Structure 1
Amino acid sequence: MSPVASTLEAIMATYFDPRSWSPLRAVGLGRRLLDPGWFEQWSSFTTAWLDPFADFGAGAVTALLPDVLMTLLSEGILSRFGGQVISATLLGSDMTATLESLEARRRGAHFETRAVLRGLRWNRHPIEHMTVVGHGMRLIPGVPTKLRSTHLDITGTISTAALIGWLNTWQLDWRLGIGPDGLITARHRRLRIRALVDASVTNDLLTVRVRQASWLGVRIPRRAFAVTPIPLSNLPKQISVRTAEREGELVRFHVDVPEIVGSFDLAQMRSAIVAGTTLIIF
């Protein structure tokens, strides 16, 4: 019997007999499938081995299959890309980063995933470090396979220079730059006002503190400035900025992203893991 046939037979024996199933057994099976020898054989077969997964995804057998799929994906991606640069297209956004860690744990009826990335470039915008925790994750087998999350917790650091470069693409009334001690310089595009400011965000409310300002070179008393906190609304994908604080040349942030639904082609994901190419979630 071929390795592929014996592996699929083990899957079917596990999932057609509920008495034989346990979380540890599912993980053990996932590790068997992710053995380096299996990857070498995997790439030489057609996508026919995916047919049982599609059949299970039709809802006729069991809800236990996502344990194996999640194990395959998380451990497969980590074993192939851990410590290396990973590239992906996520819901229309391009990213590259070094993958430091990737974990998936069952939390009741759902999963929790945790990914740690460094040297991230998100649509060409550089981010120093990012940790993404996915809550209420569900993996729904099928063609395509669906991935759903109730919300994402994203924490990380970005350089002040990179953040300002991104803000300047918004065509604001102010042209921003880097000042002394990591503060932000702001020059109004029409009114010839220059200012040195600091800023922070708490629960979608931007607070700007003016350190000094001038108009046509004439110093303006600080008491003349009373900047009302600015609500951050209409952010992409209903993102909520919990906190953002500047520390020297870096900005530490905590962002919450509400429910996200994506899909992926299991055959493409398999090929990408084996070949080390781009992962795609659409």
Structure 2
Amino acid sequence: MATYFDPKAWSPLRAVDLGMDLGKRLFDQSWLDQWTAFTTAWLDPVVDFGAGTVTALMPDVLMTLLSEGILSQFGGQEVNATFLGHDMRATLHTLKVRRRGAHFQSKIVVTGLHWNEHPIEELTVIAHGVRLIPGAPTKIRSAQLDLRGVIGIDALTHWINTWQPDWQLTPAPGGMVLAQHRRRRLRALATAEVIDNVLTITLHRANWWGIRMPRRAVRLQPIPLTDLPNYARITRAQRVGDYVHFEADLPGLTGSFELAQIRDAIVAGTTLIVF
């Protein structure tokens, strides 16, 4: 049976309630000794007799130490990180890992995320087929990432405006979007939707120099969302008031990290974790 290593409940609110017992258990000398021993065996299994038996359990142990340590030290706090070359800043609520067959599945929930300075209100990431590969640095691979999040409509239109040169988009009442041409005196009220990673804009009213124009006279070309990080694809996006709820997926990716650096960040409580 698959079991989660993280001792907290799935709820982000309960995940932030860390508890004194867990903190003492993680940061007393025995935990540090375990971390040092397992890190040594992971990076240099030849030093231990019977290393084949020991290293068979290494991924489970390291995943446990990483998830418990990171969440216990940084849960409910703002964390600065560099992930695959992108600067991130967010408040961590949930970090859970469980074994699924030969690999792992992880779940991360953050709020107040700034991804390369683009704000996202809330983001949940589930990584499938996660593997740890020994070495210095240690590599981590995932087969697929599923994302579910909430972004403000102001932030989203600002982000979209950086992708295309012709139209300036701003939110409008009633779930509409006001599109103003950057070079012509064209203004249009429209609704937008994302289908198969393409933003499609449907005109409802348009005018030129204040003169009402037929909708067929003004065309807004679909905008491919090709500038998303790491070839992410948006599978669904729905506007709810001033926010847009979206779902996306990313193909498999590979990152790396230094175990000693992560350990030092957990023990010292520093706010920089580099993957």
Give the TM bin, normalised by the shorter chain: 0.7 to 0.9
Q: 1:225 to 1:69 in 2, by over 3 A?
A: same
Deviation at 1:246, TM superposition (A): 1.4
Q: CA RMSD in A?
A: 2.8
Q: Which moved more, 1:60-69 or 1:145-154?
A: 60-69
Tell me the equivalent position of 1:3. Answer: none
- The residue number in structure 2 matching 1:280 is 274
Q: What is the percentage of aligned positions where both structures have the same residue?
A: 51
Query: What is the aligned counterpart of 2:24 among 26, 29, 36?
Result: 36
Which string of whole-angstrom CA distances, capped at 9 and with x for unpartnered residues, describes residues 3-58 of structure 1? Answer: xxxxxxxxxxxxxxxxxxx998x999xxxxx752552548999x965322211399
Which runs of no fewer than 5 residues in structure 2 stay unpaired? 8-21
Aligned twin of 1:141? 134
**Secondary structure, aligned partner of 2:56:** coil
1:199 Cα deviation (Å)? Answer: 0.8
Please report how far the alpha carbon of residue 120 of structure 1 lies from its aligned counterpart in structure 2 after TM superposition.
1.0
The answer to whether 1:116 aligns with 2:104 is no
Structure 1: distance between partners of 2:123 and 2:46: 32
> Of residues 80, 83, 92 in structure 2, which corresponds to 1:99?
92
Q: What SS does the corresponding residue of 1:172 show, helix, strand or coil?
A: coil
Task: Identify the residue that residue 14 of structure 2 maps to in structure 1.
Answer: none
Residue identity matched to 2:27: F
Distance of aligned partners of 1:111 and 1:252 in 2 relative to their CA distance in 1, 3 Å threshold: same
Taking a change above 3 Å as real, the CA distance of residues 23 and 220 of structure 1, as seen in their structure-2 partners, is closer
Larger radius of gyration: 1
Deviations 1:151-182 (A, max 9, x none): 10011000000111222233521112122234
Which residue identity lines up with residue 136 of structure 2 in the other structure? V
Residue of structure 2 equivalent to 1:55: 44
Provide, for residues 136-155 of structure 1, a one-character-per-residue CA deviation record: whole Å limited to 9, x for no partner.
00012221111100010011
Q: How many residues are matched?
A: 252
Q: Give the TM-score of the pair, scaled to structure 2.
A: 0.82
Code of the aligned partner of 1:259 = G
Counterpart in 1 of 2:82? 89
Question: Aligned to 2:158, what secondary structure does the other structure show?
Answer: helix
Question: Which amino acid in the other structure matches residue 244 of structure 1?
Answer: A
User: What secondary structure, in the 3-state scheme, does the structure 2 residue paired with 1:258 have?
Assistant: strand
How far apart, in 2, do the equivalents of 1:80 and 1:138 lie?
A: 24
Q: Counterpart in 2 of 1:243? A: 236
2:147, 2:25 → 1: CA distance?
35
The 3-state SS of whatever aligns with 2:72 is helix
Work out whether residues 6 and 67 of structure 2, in 8 Å CA contact, stay in contact via their aligned partners in 1. no
Per mean C-alpha deviation after superposition, the further-off stretch among 169-178 and 131-140 is 169-178
Q: State the alpha-carbon separation in 1 of the partners of residues 181 and 218 from structure 2.
A: 15
Unaligned runs of 5+ in 1: 1-21, 29-33
Q: Distance in 1 between matches of 2:240 and 2:225?
A: 21
Note closer, same or farther for the CA distance 1:88–1:169 as it changes in structure 2 (3 Å cut). same
**Is 1:176 matched with 2:169?**
yes
Q: Decide whether aligned partners of structure 1 residues 27 and 196 sit closer, same or farther in structure 2, where only a CA change above 3 A counts.
A: closer
Measure the CA separation in 2 of the matches of 1:257 and 1:113. Answer: 14
Q: How far is the alpha carbon of 1:99 from its aligned partner?
A: 1.2
Residues 265, 218 of structure 1: CA spacing in aligned structure 2 closer, same or farther, 3 A cutoff? same
1:74 to 58, 67, 77: 67
1:56, 1:141 within 8 Å by CA — same for their partners in 2? no
Q: Report the CA distance between 1:235 and its aligned residue.
A: 4.3
Please list the CA deviations of residues 168-209 of structure 1 after superposition, one character each: whole Å capped at 9, or x if unmatched: 233521112122234221111112111111111122232211
